[in-house]
């Protein structure tokens, strides 16, 4: 372009040729390059969008491919003789005695009966390891449920050990035990294969994952405690943040005079929306736990902290919803004699409600996925029991994910991914409800 | 009775007194010949009575909850034996704590020490007295309030004005919670940080290059005081944030330009929510992804070209933080780009510019202040991001700018210092609050600047 510019300038100074002909030819000459640049630019845009969505897809695929096996449980069928002498109880025994009975011995005996040729102590111990250590609780619950079975022989599906489970779920080739990476010995693999061929191993929905609390044993660890903890925490968050946020939005949008104080409140709300979440955790630790001495690790403190965090989100959404109600509604109500507050409570607020609820659900979804502030107030404890009130020690789903992600056992990787899938499912559900609400009730004036 | 039952009781009482008040207003209206002879609606009279019943009760309940423990605690002083109170304040606190644990766990009969038993019995007594007193005080306040309001009901009583004034106060106080929260944050981190700076000089904190907050138990051991030079943390935070911005800015900006200028409305309506899904994924999920998928990938790639990469490299954490903030950059930039007046584009097209030339030479410069504001907001997100770095970045404070090595950040250190067992007065836990103060001030400044820039920009075109 520089060259043609110069020659052009020379030509123009020499002869009075019409300049626009030259300009046209210059433009024409450059068109090809400019169109190419145009195409390239557009391509960059498409590529960056594809990359961003690609990240999303990779993330989802990696989580789902790791997480699905956790929803599948592996069970072994055993012929268990509920021998009175081994158990040390009779059908008439009390609940306490029934609970204390030795069920693991029964399971071990059943395994020995299945493989009668095992005799050495070391081999026996290896054999016992095929069954999950949670199997005895399964059996004990079964017997306590119907003590009249004592003395009889029953067929029962008990949970298999997590390494056995991994063999079955990932469809390892049991004929070539040397190619399998597992903690199991070749003998154990052979036994597993024998049972599998006899149809004594089956897979099914892993109910324990949804009904158990946390556990150090991967095959027994479940998300029930975390789910209940999340539900309590979210309930507190909703009860505190919704009324306060709506009231604040109503004040700022409908009643606030234009003065310094109002400006200060607005600046504060906008800033709080961008404060890192961990700082809210520090606030919770210093104010609610150390100053007001509320219980550590409890959903009530978690709920308070998260509600302070979600307030700005809900306030901003509620203000937008209130602003969208046209002034004519207010004027009509005023004209019929309603007081300013009656206008709001009877007319503006009901009309803005769908928008407010949408904002609230989105705010709560954010709170559901939040982890960092809860670490600060001690919700990282190892919780086995399902919390029964808002002051019990509890953990929540994202924190459970964080805890499991730290565990060294391989089986916890799939547990973590599975917990993430459950978490994402809840988030998708909440956002879908929000979108539906907006689509169904939002009115364009 | 637990606070929750008391709360429920107060609300039920409020409901009952509401019905009484409304009934009285209705009967006055009937005797006068209709509701129109009342100043307000019958429901307003009921609400006046109900509010005068519930509000005093709630105020008393709240005050009691806040001050019950401190008061019983100081009343317990008399039950602390002389031998303990001679040992100083700390021993007394410890002793009282012990007593409180015994009482709350209901293990009174297992206590053998007669002094302890005496103290525990006293605390038990105090607690039950406090519970009964609360119930009586609360109920009488509720009933007196309701009775006073009930007696005031006449046809001319301006019940609506009273109710609306109370509601107005409620609305104002709810709006002020935002300010209270900010004050709470500032004070909670500031006070602890000041206590920290009494033990460690501020200058050492902001200029020291050695960070090892673990203090030894005995004072004569090596490293007995710990060292609190936070420079490695600041550098680590900036390194990870810089990597994140290097990922997020180009991807986010180019996506925003494409969405705003090229995409059809249909494509836009599909792509935009998809990008926003990235912002909705919990950070703990990104952290897991970074630690389990991205970090080994980068390590493998690095090793295949002969580089030694730490398994907790800053690069992995930074890239994933960057992915997380792509939607912030893209949606904020999208907003400002679409706000550029169409007339400016038309002018550019009229002079023969292609679309990309218009974007680069007209739209982009016009939108630049707004874009910068958006990028600053995204940067403050990256600096304050916690879970991804906790799970994917390291714990050791290395002073390096090599993205392949492990670095630690301010947020990671806050989490490590404050999780697990802790003593609240040690420099170690106080250091977390000092770091929190730094974090809060930095992100606050970035936010204020960004919001200011964005607002100025909006006003320019409105």
CATH of the domain at A294: 1.10.3720.10
Write down which residue in A67, A82, A115 finishes a domain. A67
Statement to judge: residues A393 and A247 lie in one domain: yes
Choose one of A211, A236, A251: the last residue of a domain: A211
**Do the chains contact at B440 and A46, CB–CB below 8 Å?**
no
pLDDT tier at B67 (50, 70, 90 boundaries)?
A: confident
DSSP A155: E
Mean pLDDT of A367-392: 86
Q: Specify which residues A202 forms β-bridges with.
A: A75
- Facing residue for B188 by CB, picked from A243, A245, A287: A287
Residue A217 lies in a domain: no
Residue A216 lies in a domain: no
Residue A310 forms part of a structural domain: yes
Task: Say if residue A9's pLDDT is above 50.
Answer: no
Shortest Cα–Cα distance, A210 to chain B (Å): 20
pLDDT in tens, A185-220: 878 888 888 888 888 888 888 888 888 888 877 777
Q: Are residues A139 and A231 in the same domain?
A: no
Of B69, B184, B386, the CB nearest to A278: B386
pLDDT band (50, 70, 90) for residue A12? very low
- Residues B134-146: tens digit of each pLDDT: 999 999 999 999 9
Longest dimension (CA), chain B: 97
Q: Which of residues 62-91 of B touch A (CB under 8 A)?
A: 66, 69
Residues A35 and A111 in one domain: no
Please give the tally of structural domains in chain A: 3
Residues of A in contact with B330 (CB under 8 A): 52
Measured between CB atoms, does B284 come within 8 Å of chain A? yes
DSSP A361-417: HHHHHHHHT--HHHHHTTTTS---SPP-STTS----HHHHHHHHHT--STHHHHHHH
Of B382, B256, B248, B236, the closest CA to residue B323 belongs to B248
**Number of CB atoms found within 10 A of residue B280's CB:** 17
Give A55 to chain B, closest Cα distance, Å: 7
Q: Please indicate whether, in this complex, the C-beta atoms of B175 and A265 are within 8 angstroms of each other.
A: yes
Once rounded to an integer, what is the mean pLDDT over residues A59-80? 87
CB spacing of B385 vs A276 below 8 angstroms? yes
CB-defined contacts A:B, below 8 A: 252
Residue B47 has pLDDT above 80, yes or no: yes
What is the phi-psi region of residue A369: left when phi exceeds 0, alpha when psi lies from -120 to 50, beta otherwise? alpha
Tell me if chain A has a CB within 8 Å of the CB of B349. no
User: With 60 as the cut, is the pLDDT of residue B61 above it?
Assistant: yes
Is residue A232 included in any domain, yes or no?
yes
Please indicate, yes or no, whether residues A432 and A409 belong to a single structural domain of this protein: yes
A163 and A262 co-located in one domain: no
* B404-416 confidence digits (pLDDT tens): 888 999 999 999 8
Closest-approach residue (CA) in chain B for A273: B447
CATH number of B227-461: 1.10.3720.10
Query: Does residue A98 sit in the same domain as residue A241?
Result: no
What residues make up the domain containing A277? 224-441
Which residues 160-199 of B are in CB contact (within 8 Å) with A?
Answer: 160, 164, 167-168, 170-172, 174-179, 181-182, 184-185, 188-189, 191-192
A198 and A318 in a single domain? The answer is: no
A252-283 pLDDT tens trace: 999 999 888 888 898 889 889 889 999 999 99
Residue at a domain's end among A183, A211, A239: A211
> Considering chain A, what is the average pLDDT of its residues?
85
Q: Note every long-range contact of B423-426, with CB atoms under 8 Å and residues 24 or more positions apart, other chains counting.
A: B424/A290, B425/B195, B426/B215
Cross-chain residue pair B280–A431, CB shorter than 8 Å: yes
Cβ <8 Å between B433 and A282: yes
**Chain B nearest CA to A409, separation (Å):** 13
CB–CB contact B384 A417 (8 Å) = no
Are residues A304 and A418 located together in one domain of the fold?
A: yes
| Closest by CA position to A187, among listed A136, A283, A122 | A122
Residues A399 and A386 in one domain: yes
Inform me whether the pLDDT recorded for A303 exceeds 70: yes
Residues A138 and A167 occupy one common structural domain: yes
- Which residues from A are below 8 Å from B69, CB to CB? 293
Q: Is the ipTM of this complex over 0.90?
A: no
Full-model pTM: 0.85
Residues A236 and A337 both lie in one domain:
yes
Residue A219 domain flag: no
Q: How confident is the model at residue B421 (pLDDT cuts 50, 70, 90)?
A: low
Same domain, A388 and A300: yes
pLDDT exceeds 90 at position A231: yes
Q: In this predicted model, what pLDDT tens digit does every residue of B432-457 receive, in sequence order?
A: 999 999 999 999 999 888 888 877 77
**For residue A332, pLDDT beyond 80:** yes
User: Where exactly are the structural domains of chain B?
Assistant: 3-157, 227-461
């Amino acid at each position: 372009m520089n060259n043609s510019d110069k020659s052009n300038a020379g030509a123009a100074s020499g002869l009075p040729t019409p300049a626009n002909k030259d300009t046209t030819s210059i433009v024409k000459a450059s068109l090809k390059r400019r169109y190419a640049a145009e195409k390239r630019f557009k391509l960059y845009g498409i590529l960056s969008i594809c990359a961003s969505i690609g990240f999303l897809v990779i993330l989802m695929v990696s989580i789902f491919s790791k997480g699905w096996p956790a929803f599948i449980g592996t069970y072994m069928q055993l012929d268990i003789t509920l021998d009175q002498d081994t158990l040390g109880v009779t059908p008439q025994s009390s609940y306490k005695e029934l609970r204390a009975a030795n069920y693991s011995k029964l399971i071990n005996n059943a395994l020995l009966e299945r493989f009668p040729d095992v005799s050495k102590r070391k081999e026996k111990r290896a054999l016992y390891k095929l069954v999950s250590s949670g199997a005895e609780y399964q059996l004990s619950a079964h017997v306590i449920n119907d003590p009249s079975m004592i003395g009889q022989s029953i067929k029962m599906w008990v949970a298999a050990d997590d390494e056995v489970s991994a063999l079955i779920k990932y469809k390892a080739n049991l004929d070539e035990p040397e190619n399998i990476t597992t903690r199991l010995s070749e003998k154990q693999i052979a036994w597993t294969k024998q049972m599998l061929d006899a149809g004594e191993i089956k897979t099914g929905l892993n109910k324990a994952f949804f009904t158990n609390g946390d556990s150090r044993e991967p095959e027994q660890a479940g998300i029930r405690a975390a789910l209940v903890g999340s539900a309590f925490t979210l309930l507190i968050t909703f009860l505190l943040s919704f009324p306060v946020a709506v009231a604040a939005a109503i004040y700022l949008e409908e009643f606030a005079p234009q003065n310094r104080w109002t400006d200060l409140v607005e600046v504060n709300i906008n800033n709080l929306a961008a404060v890192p979440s961990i700082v809210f955790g520090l606030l919770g630790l210093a104010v609610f736990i150390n100053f007001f001495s509320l219980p550590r690790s409890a959903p009530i403190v978690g709920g308070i902290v998260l509600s302070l965090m979600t307030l700005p989100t809900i306030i901003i959404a509620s203000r937008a919803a209130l602003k969208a109600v046209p002034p004519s509604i207010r004027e009509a109500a005023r004209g019929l004699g309603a007081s300013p507050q009656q206008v709001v409570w009877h007319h503006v607020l009901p009309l803005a409600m769908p928008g407010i609820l949408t904002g609230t659900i989105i705010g709560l979804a954010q709170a559901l996925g939040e982890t960092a502030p809860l670490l600060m107030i001690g919700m990282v404890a190892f919780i086995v029991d399902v919390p029964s009130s808002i002051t019990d020690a509890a953990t929540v789903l994202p924190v459970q994910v964080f805890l499991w992600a730290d565990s060294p056992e391989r089986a916890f990787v799939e547990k973590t991914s599975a917990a993430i899938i459950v978490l994402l499912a809840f988030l998708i559900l909440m956002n879908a409800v929000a979108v539906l609400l907006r689509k169904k009730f939002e009115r364009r004036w | 009775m637990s606070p929750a039952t008391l709360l429920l009781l107060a609300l039920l009482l409020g409901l009952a007194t509401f019905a009484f008040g409304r009934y009285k207003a209705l009967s006055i209206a009937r005797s006068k010949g209709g509701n129109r002879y009342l100043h307000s609606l019958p429901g307003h009279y009921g609400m006046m009575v109900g509010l005068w019943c519930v509000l005093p009760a709630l105020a008393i309940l709240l005050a009691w909850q806040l001050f019950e423990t401190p008061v019983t605690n100081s009343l317990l002083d008399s039950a602390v034996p002389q031998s303990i109170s001679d040992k100083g304040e700390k021993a007394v606190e410890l002793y009282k704590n012990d007593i409180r644990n015994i009482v709350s766990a209901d293990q009174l009969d297992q206590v053998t020490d007669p002094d302890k038993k005496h103290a525990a019995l006293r605390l038990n007594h105090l607690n039950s007295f406090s519970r009964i007193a609360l119930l009586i005080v609360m109920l009488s306040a509720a009933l007196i309030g309701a009775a006073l309001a009930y007696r005031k009901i006449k046809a001319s009583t301006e019940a609506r004005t009273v109710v609306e004034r109370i509601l107005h106060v409620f609305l104002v106080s709810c709006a002020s919670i935002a300010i209270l929260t900010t004050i709470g944050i500032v004070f909670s981190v500031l006070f602890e940080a000041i206590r920290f700076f009494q033990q460690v000089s501020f200058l050492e904190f902001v200029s020291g290059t050695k960070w090892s907050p673990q203090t030894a138990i005995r004072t004569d051991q090596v490293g007995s005081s710990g060292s609190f030079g936070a420079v490695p943390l600041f550098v680590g935070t900036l390194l990870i944030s810089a990597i994140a911005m290097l990922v997020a800015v180009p991807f986010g900006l180019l996506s925003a330009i494409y969405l705003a200028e090229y995409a059809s409305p249909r494509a836009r309506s599909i792509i935009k929510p998809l990008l926003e899904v990235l912002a909705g994924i919990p950070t703990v999920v990104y952290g897991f992804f970074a630690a389990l998928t991205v970090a080994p990938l980068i390590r493998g790639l690095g090793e295949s070209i002969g580089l030694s990469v730490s398994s907790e490299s800053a690069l992995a954490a930074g890239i994933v933080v960057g992915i997380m903030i792509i939607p912030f950059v893209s949606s904020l930039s999208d907003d400002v780009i679409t706000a550029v007046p169409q007339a400016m584009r038309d002018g550019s097209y009229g002079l023969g510019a292609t679309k990309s030339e218009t974007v680069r030479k007209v739209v982009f410069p016009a939108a630049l202040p707004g874009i910068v504001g958006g990028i600053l907001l995204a940067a403050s997100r990256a600096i304050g991001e916690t879970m991804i770095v906790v799970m994917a970045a390291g714990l050791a404070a290395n002073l390096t700018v090599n993205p392949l090595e492990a670095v630690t950040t301010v947020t990671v250190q806050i989490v490590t210092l404050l999780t697990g067992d802790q003593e609240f007065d040690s420099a170690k836990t106080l250091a977390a609050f000092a770091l929190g103060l730094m974090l809060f001030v930095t992100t606050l400044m970035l936010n204020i600047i960004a919001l200011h820039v964005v607002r100025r920009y909006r006003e320019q075109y409105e």
